[in-house]
Amino acid sequence: MRLLAQIFILLTTVAATAAETNYFCVVCGKGPLTGRIWMSKWGAVCDDCYRLENHCSICGLPVRPGDGCVKTGDGRYICKFDKPDAVLDSYTAREIFAAARRGLVELYGGGFALNFPDVTVNLFDVDYWSEKSHNDGLHKFGFSSTRRSPSGVCTHEVVMLSGRLRAELAATAAHEYTHLWINENIAPGRAIEPDTLEAVCELSAYTLMGAERQPEMQKKILENPYTHGKIKTLVTLAESRGVTAILDWVKTGETAGLDAPAAANWKPASAATGRKTQLPADLRFTGFFTLGTNDVAIINGLGFAPGERRSLRLRNGTALVDCREIRAGKVLVESNGIPTVLELERSK
């Protein structure tokens, strides 16, 4: 049980001479405890229980049959503390999936609803999983698939791993729902780089967890190595461009991957949505300098560091201009949600 070492910290090893403490074992109830005491997130654990063979698959707490834990069909245990919040039946899983789906459509807008709304949702156990995921082990907590009939009708299916906490399942539901949406909406023949595709789905999980005030879950999603860090790029892009631009890119973008906002590989949102670009025509990038560790671009006589927003007075009125990135004689700016690249004007 490698996991255990991370979850338990040795509280005290005051050996046999230890005076009585106020600690009682949260597993067997024994106490007040003396001698070696182990500390879990739920409270103290006696040395006997620490040596138990079975552990909660969610938190690692030692469990013994009869202490209030449950055993899943595939032999995993869930401790009495995690049991109330663990999802063990398909009915609850369907409710959580439906709520995640509603939440995402509220957050992303009506365009994120499915054209073929029926989704079969089921919960499966580890045995099923190991077979489905082959060498992938338990890296994945959900699967989704869409079958498209010759006439174009989509049939959606989602399966998710049982015995996880409600919030974890909601995050997985958001991820899998996004796969279904992509399956319906991606342009025929379009290929997206796999890590980026998964990161788009993780972005939904991240966004939903934000709306549900689950900062710990958001942190886990950001730190999960599953997308090789692409999730961080996507979160940054969603903050600077809005998620609609990312969804448009998923549907009809011309590149296989998305990088941090860089002039070279970001297709402007206006092009993706077919909106007419109306940028202030008289923006002028006339120089740049370095201030400390920051590059500063001079646009219409004002200094902009990346991330700065300033109001500029232009011919047709005032425009709020955001500086996104400065590199190699170019600056990426955005005004009214329209990105544009300005080239450094050479003095004549």
# of chain residues touching Zn ion (CB under 5 A):
12
The phi and psi torsions of 248 (rounded to 5 degrees) equal: -60, -40
Binding mask 282-311 for Zn ion (x = CB under 5 A): ------------------------------
Residue among 27, 174, 203, 323 that touches Zn ion (CB under 5 A): 27
CA-CA distances (angstroms) from residue 293 to 14, 260, 289?
52, 19, 10
Please, what is the minimum distance in Å from the beta carbon of residue 64 to Zn ion? 8
Packing angle, helices 166-185 and 243-252, rounded to 10: 50
Angle at 243 between CA 250 and CA 212, to 5 degrees: 125
Toward Zn ion, which CB reaches closer, 27 or 258? Answer: 27
- Nearest partner of 115 among 197, 209, 215, 184, judged by Cα: 184
Toward Zn ion, which CB reaches closer, 45 or 171? Answer: 45
Q: Which stretch binds Zn ion (CB under 5 A): 49-57, 115-123, 246-254, 315-323?
A: 49-57
Please, what is the minimum distance in Å from the beta carbon of residue 33 to Zn ion? 8
Under rule CB under 5 A, residue 331 binds Zn ion: no
Under rule CB under 5 A, residue 46 binds Zn ion: yes
Whole-angstrom Cα distance, residue 143 to residue 28?
Answer: 38
Which H or E run contains 324? strand 317-327
Please, what is the minimum distance in Å from the beta carbon of residue 81 to Zn ion? 5
Under rule CB under 5 A, residue 168 binds Zn ion: no
Toward Zn ion, which CB reaches closer, 169 or 234? Answer: 169
Toward Zn ion, which CB reaches closer, 37 or 123? Answer: 37
- Nearest partner of 336 among 326, 347, 328, 316, judged by Cα: 316
Under rule CB under 5 A, residue 86 binds Zn ion: no
Query: Which token pair is 309?
Result: 């927003």
Q: Which stretch binds Zn ion (CB under 5 A): 28-36, 121-129, 138-146, 338-346?
A: 28-36
Residue among 28, 113, 283, 305 that touches Zn ion (CB under 5 A): 28
CA-CA distances (angstroms) from residue 23 to 31, 41, 102?
6, 14, 45
Residue among 8, 23, 25, 221 that touches Zn ion (CB under 5 A): 25
CA-CA distances (angstroms) from residue 194 to 40, 153, 220, 226?
38, 25, 20, 11
Please, what is the minimum distance in Å from the beta carbon of residue 77 to Zn ion? 8
Whole-angstrom Cα distance, residue 124 to residue 140?
Answer: 12
Residue 303: burial class (beta carbons within 10 Å; 0-12, 13-18, 19+): middle
Under rule CB under 5 A, residue 58 binds Zn ion: yes
Residue 180: burial class (beta carbons within 10 Å; 0-12, 13-18, 19+): buried
Under rule CB under 5 A, residue 79 binds Zn ion: yes
Under rule CB under 5 A, residue 59 binds Zn ion: yes
Q: Which stretch binds Zn ion (CB under 5 A): 16-24, 33-41, 79-87, 300-308?
A: 79-87
Which chain residues interact with Zn ion by CB under 5 A? Answer: 25, 27-28, 30, 46, 49, 56, 58-59, 61, 79, 82
